[in-house]
Structures are given as structure tokens and as C-alpha cells.
A and B are shown apart, each in its own frame.
Chain A
């Protein structure tokens, strides 16, 4: 039996080793992609094999499983092209750092987080364009997050927990620290956006589980307020977008804000929170991969308004995109719905108004996501477009996302956390402010 202290190092080391092992394939993009996929699968295997021997964090073990899965999906969904080589290797690097944050002891975890945020900020700087002046805000936000994580590692309580909370607001986007999330999802190259939309929120939730219980009332109240503002703001902005990546970024911001509202009310992060965060991330990731399929066929700067009628020309793509959209809207039987309902039924509500805003944000997703999907799939078939259905790797990538989201909607939460943990956080009917 392996010493349990070695397991986190092993989980961290495998993807990093994979990144090094990919170096010889630099001149062969197909070989590099195969190698990267193989290493993330090995990483997934190691998580499955060793997760049971680790201490279960408050949010359960689901985030650990999701990271290699998301990396697999992101890499598989990218077409083979020499421009994507760095993003595949960086995906492995981020996977290693992410697993380190989730599994190692707090101080090393925070150092890994600092490194992760610094690398992302650096990457954003590298891809900064004068046409996108707003991306400075994103770079600054990740810089602030890295600084907060470093401060948290170095300082003592209560400064460390406040700094940790600040880092969480950058990772799991919360208004007004959401610019990083928007920049990363729109500016990072290749497979990185579709991986980062799972990685950072999941890592943020891990920090939240530790930081939230010690947060003062006034801070929790402020977070709650920002969360409601964020949920409405994200939904409104998503409604106004015509560009798919921005729409997905704002939509996911709206859903993540809902999680913040629940977290502020319950002062903790439960396995159900992990289910919601993980599935929102995964559904968004799937939609980004689906959008990548369109970009691969019709160019990076393709206007979604110029595409229609994919349902007849690309039936496999149409079915999978529809299912992904259902999942992202929070419809059953997918994981987002299960996570959302789990939190709705198990968390206390500070106010009915908050519940109202949350439900409106959930409802708005049915509008903007449905409109996007409808625009792409239905309408008139355009003679000027060449319709090519999914290639094998793309099909595998999207199919995995759909199946995982379906499985997460149906399997009991006990698979990722003990029932004791669930009962510990259950606070049914505990809402004295509006119930007498």
C-alpha cells in the first residue's frame, strides 16, 4: 500500500511528467495530441485509483475526477494543428497544478495556486492585443488573485483567510472580480479556455470550503449581495451577446454567482456545491468545444449569425449540441439541474428576493442559450456552407461531456462524498427570517 502522503505528489507529478514526455513530439502535432490524451487518461486513472485513500475535503472528491476529464475533453475537441501544440502542453501543466491545489497540504496548495494564476496572467499578457484593451483588466485580476494566494500562504489568520477568499472570487468568478474569467475564456488559445472554465472554478470552490466558515457576517452579506448582482448582470449581459464565447462566459458567470449566493448563505461548500460548479464548468466547456467545431470548419472569426441549418447537414453535431444546451440551461436529467436542485433544497435562504433573482437567472439561461442553439441548428440550410459532421475525436469529446453530465445528474452524491458529510451540512427548514 502506498503512503498516503505520496498520493498528492503522484497525482501532481503524472500530468507534469506527461508534459515533459510530450516535448519530443513537438514536430509531430498528431503524436503530441495522442500523447497528451494518453497522459491525461493516465492521470484520470491515477485519480480513480488513489482518491479513495485520500482525506475527503468538505466539497467531496468530484473535483478531482472532473479535472482530468475536462482536460481530456478539451484536448480531444481541438483539431490537429501545429498552433495548438503549446495549448495541449499547457493543459497538462495546468492539470498538474490544479491537482496539486486540490490534493496537497494547504501551504503547497496555495503556492501551486499562485503559480497557476501567474502563468495564466502571463499567458494573457502574451496574447494581449491592442484591439482588446479590456484584457488588461483580466490580466490585473489574475495578478491580484496570484498576489492574494501568495499572501494567504505567507500570512496568518485572519489576513490569510481574507486573502484566500479574495483569490476565490477571482477563481470562481464573482462580480466585480470577474474580468479574469471573461478574458481567459475569450482570449486564451486552443484547448485552454474549455479547460480553464472547469479548472479555476473547481479550484476556487476548494478554497471557498476552507475560507467561508470563518468569514464575518458583514463580508458574507456583501458576498451575497455581489452574488445576486452577478447573477443578474451575467444573465443580462449574456442576453445581449452575439459572440458565442462571450455569451458562454457571461452565462457561466451568472450560474457561478448563484453558487456564491448559496455559499454565502450556508457559509460552506458541500459536495452539492461541487456538483453544481463542476457541471456548470463542464457544460460550458462542452459548448466551447462545440463552438470550436464550428470555428474549425468556418474560420476563427466566423459570425454565428451567418450560420444556420446545421441540424440537417450535421445531425450528430445537432443532437449533441442540443443535449449540451439542455444541460447548460439547467434542465433535467443533467448534472447542472441535479446540482441546482440539490442546493435549492438543502441550503437555507436569507431572503425570498434572493431566491427570486436566482430563479430568474436560471430562467434567463433558457432564453440566451436556446436562442444561440436555435440560430445555429435550425433555420434555412445555406447553400454556401459546406456541412461536415463531427470527426471521430470531436464526437468522442462531445459524447464524453454529455455522458458525464448525464451520469452526474443521475448518480447519488454519495459516490463523491460520504453520507455523513452530506448530513453535516443539511439545514432543511432553517430559514427563520421569512418563516414563523
Chain B
């Protein structure tokens, strides 16, 4: 029990060490604070072991039977999901903090910045280990404000505008989250997670939104929570704050993209039993996630700034993660966000070095060494074809025919297999962009990639699903709730398959210098789409226009009114 409390307290202590002390000792204190941050990681890892072996830990500093102290009920509930998130956050924090002490050395406001990093970690840990929705929401909101503060260089107009946009957009999502909490409490009379799940399952409630228009209570509640999650996880159309915050110091981005942005996925997983009761919300999540993944990835391809490119890559990945939630694969989403978090933290920290190096060396990155690379050999392409198209088909047939898993009736299994295929195709296609030295090496790399991905999915993801959701019936119920109509599911699978195969063929033909016969209008559309995607679909401008229109209306109303400001 003490261990669970120790993790956030150590982070708070680190913030205090950085913040308070005599002048001149700032750097020494900043270095010293790394120890409690490291200790917090060890504590989180120990907590993970503890809850894995002994079950969830629950600490409540309030009395459930009393309403007197209900306004902000402080308590901790650490299960496997919380412990995994705690370990991820503290692990990433150790790296980011250590990196930041060097990166921000001699910055005028390094002390405030480092303290804020520790405080953000503290808030994140408290959020993921909250005992109830109210406490979760409390830290959720504090996080929205901390993101504003972490923009750091508030004297710079661009930074300030980005920070304000971040705060304003996140507050919109926070408001929806609050509405969800209020509605949940009014309908079910509790904000304790387990009680809420039980009551929501036992008490079907219908809400009359308008005469003749009704909605299930659990759908209304989960939709509002989902909007809250959309904000923190930068889902379309509330995604703009993420690229808008690009002026923040690079380590902040690492923390943001590796830890903070996962809050949406965590929220949906924390409330998985509730989301599992509403097919409508899961379908909405699937649509929003898919749209975000497609738009995020497309916009990423058209950016010319390293931070923006990575930012839109994160948006795409978060869309992918939310899409997984929408398909009922909650554990897969957590696995995804952990993998993405570790990867993106590394990339961002490296990106900081690249930016610094580019500032020091005007000719970096070097563009004068670009030479035409030889095309891939037939062997390489044959391996690629076999690994991405033939083997998955074989696996599918073996699974269906030999193991007799009824694929057509189990969307969940298809989803897992499909993700294996998509991921391996993506990874193998990426290999074709490497500067190959010998075709057999690339072929071996392709085979290894496929084996690695299949292994990870079959063992790690399956084991991870069992780890987070030990009850197979619960997992099956989520897949069932998320189940799409057969025709729609088949259509999505077939479309995605065609697109993947077409992409593979297009790259193959292009790499061999063959002209790909495309109708003129497709080329025209491609060119026309480039500009809007490079300009991020003009969403910033649209938001600015909406803001200006609202303010113009407000001022007009103000002037018409007999008011005081005339």
C-alpha cells in the first residue's frame, strides 16, 4: 500500500527539490531530483509486480457511505492497467527528465520547466491510479492546464497562441467529460468504477433528449466520455492542439507524445466495461479513430517540418489506437500505446539533437550525397510478395480450415489477424526504402520482420490481453459489442486488402521504373489534395475563422445591448 503512495510522492518530492533551495544550486538540485524520479520508476515496477501477483491495491481517504467529503474524494485504485501505465509513464519520465537536465542547461527558466515536468508526471500517475471518476477528472483537468504551462516560452507569440489553443480545445473536451460524469452520477448514483459498471449493466435507462428522440443512458454517458478522450488523444476534429504546441521544448513533446496523449486510450480502457455496454459508442469510436488515422497519416506525409511530421504521425497512431478500441480490442490498444509511447519518445529526443545539430551545421541534413540507389533484386521482391501476401493468406486458411476457428463468426480473431498482416506489410514496405547492400540480407530482414510481428501479436498481444483482461468472456463480450454488420465488416476488410495489395503493386512497379497507368483524374486529384493536406486541411484557419466570427457576434451583441462597455 505504501509503495503505491510512494510513486506519486517521489515525483512530488522531485518537483520540490528542483523548485525550492538556495540560489546558485539550481543545477545540482536538478541533477539530484533525477534520483527520486528514478526511484519512482522502480516503485512503479515493483507495484506492477505486486498487483500482478497479489491483485489490485485500493486506498481510499474518504468514506463511501458519507456524502460530506464527496466534492474531491482522494483515493487510489491500482490494478494491472494502472500499474502498466504507471511503469510506462515513470520509465519514460526517467529518460525525459535526465535528457532535459542537459537539454535545458543554462535556460533562464530551466528550474520552472523541470519542476513542471516532475509535477506533470505526478499528475499523470495520480490520474492513472485514481480510485474514482471524480479524482480522475480532477487530475485530467489539471493536466489540461499543465500543458498550457509546459509550452514554456510564453514571451514568444507563436508559443503563446499554441498554448492557448491547446488549453481552449482541451477545455472543450473536458466539459464533455464533466457532462458525462454528471450524467453518470445522476443515472447510477455512483462514481466508483466497479459500482458504476455493475449498476450500468443492471439498470438500463433511456433518456428522452427531445420529444420522440430517446437514447440509452449508457450510450449518452460513454459518448460524452469519448469526447473527453478525443480531446486528450488528439482525435479529429479536436486534434489541432497537438501540432499547435510544436514550439514547446523537445523533451515536452517526448512526454506529450509518449505519456500525456495516451490519456484518452487509458480512459477508454479504464471504463471498458461501460464502453462494452454501448455498441453505438464503440462504432462512433471506430469511425472517429479511422478518420483520424487516415487524415493524420496523410497530413504527416505532406509536412515539411520535423516536429509537425512527428506530431501528425502521433495523431495517426492515436487514431489507430482509438480505432482498435472501437473494434473492441481494448488490450491491443494499450499494447499499441505503450509501443508507440516508447518509440515516439525516442524519436522526439533524437529529433531534438537533429534540430540542434542543424542549427550548428548549416548543411545538415546533407543533401549533396543523394545518389540513385540500385533497384531491389527479384529475390527481394519475391520474398516481400511471399511474406506480405502469400503467408498471411496461408495463415488465414490454416486457421480457418485446420484449426477450425470460425473466422466468419468471430470478428475479433479476424481483427487480430488483420492487424498482424497490416503491421507486417507496413514494416516490410518500410524496408524497401532502406539503402540495401545485398538482396539476401533484405530478404532475411523481411522474413525476420514477419516472424517477429507474428510472434509479438500471437504471444505478446494475446498474453497481454490475458494479463489485462483475464476473463476471456469479458474480452469476447467487447468484441461482440463492437461487432459491425457482416456486410460492413467484409467491405472494410476487402477495401483494406485491395488498398494494401494495390499499394504493394504500385511501389513494386515504381521501383522498377515501370509506368503505372493511372487515369488522369486520379493524378489530378492527387496533386489537388497535396496542398490541402500540406496545409493541414486548413483546419487552423477554419478554427480561427470560427473564433473570430464568435467574437464578432459577441461584440455586436455587446454593442446592441444597453451595456456598460459603451
Contacts and interface: CB of A to CB of B under 8 A. Distances in A.
Interface of A: 134, 182, 186, 236-237, 239-243, 246, 272, 275, 309, 311-312, 326, 331-333, 337-339, 341-342, 344-346, 349, 352, 355-356, 359-360, 362-363, 366-367, 370-371, 374, 377-381, 409-410, 412-414, 419, 422-423, 426, 428-429, 431, 434-436
Contacts of B205: 435-436
B201 interface: no
B562 interface: yes
**7 A-B pairs with least C-beta separation:** A240-B558, A412-B69, A378-B154, A338-B71, A414-B68, A332-B138, A366-B171
A367 B558 contact: no
A410 B72 CA distance: 7
A366 B72 contact: no
Interface stretch (B206-214, B252-260, B270-278, B466-474): B206-214
B70 A414 contact: no
Interface stretch (B43-51, B172-180, B494-502): B172-180
B207 A435 contact: yes
Given A370-B164, A428-B186, A236 B554 contact: yes
Contacts of B154: 311, 377-379
A326 B145 contact: yes
Contacts of B206: 436
A362 B179 CA distance: 11
A237 B185 CA distance: 32
Given A332-B141, A363-B171, A414-B68, A429 B186 contact: yes
B358 interface: no
Interface in B141-185: 141-142, 145, 154-155, 157, 160, 164, 167-168, 171-172, 175, 178-179, 182, 185
Contact of A355 (B71, B157, B168, B179): B179
Nearest to A179: B564
Contacts of A342: 70-71
Contact of A409 (B71, B145, B554, B555): B71
A309 B564 contact: no
Interface residues of B, number: 45
Nearest to A418: B68
Nearest to B157: A379
A414 B70 CA distance: 10
A363 B227 CA distance: 15
Contacts of A339: 71
Given A239-B554, A246-B564, A338 B186 contact: no
Contacts of A419: 66-68
A359 B178 contact: yes
Contacts of A412: 68-69, 71
B406 interface: no
A182 B561 CA distance: 15
Contacts of A436: 205-206, 208
B503 interface: no
A79 B563 CA distance: 31
A423 B67 contact: yes
A370 B70 contact: no
Nearest to A318: B154
A346 B67 contact: yes
Contacts of B69: 412-414
Contact of A332 (B142, B164, B564, B565): B142
B187 A186 contact: no
A139 to B, nearest CB: 14
B209 A409 contact: no
B55 interface: no
A355 B176 CA distance: 11
A413 B557 contact: no
A242 B555 CA distance: 11
Contacts of B217: 435
A187 to B, nearest CB: 10
Contacts of B564: 134, 182, 186, 246
Contacts of A414: 66, 68-69
B401 interface: no
A333 B186 contact: no
B72 A333 contact: yes
Given A236-B554, A239-B551, A344-B182, A338 B72 contact: yes
Nearest to A430: B186
Interface string B55-70: 0000000000011111
B155 A312 contact: yes
Given A338-B71, A413-B69, 7 more contacts: A186-B564, A240-B554, A333-B138, A356-B179, A362-B178, A377-B154, A379-B155
Contacts of B207: 352, 434-435
B134 interface: yes
B189 interface: yes
A279 to B, nearest CB: 11
A167 to B, nearest CB: 23
Contacts of B178: 344, 359, 362
B145 A345 contact: no
Contacts of A134: 562, 564
A362 B178 CA distance: 11
Contacts of B563: 237
A359 B551 CA distance: 19
Most chain A beta-carbon contacts within 10 A, residue among B71, B185, B551: B71
B168 A366 contact: yes
A410 B217 CA distance: 31
Interface string B529-551: 00000000000000000000001
Contacts of B142: 331-333
Given A240-B557, A426-B67, A434-B207, A332 B168 contact: no
A312 B168 CA distance: 24
Given A331-B142, A359-B175, A429-B189, A243 B208 contact: no
Contact of B68 (A355, A359, A413): A413
Contacts of B565: 237, 240-243, 246
Contacts of B160: 374, 378-379
A208 B366 CA distance: 74
B192 to A, nearest CB: 13
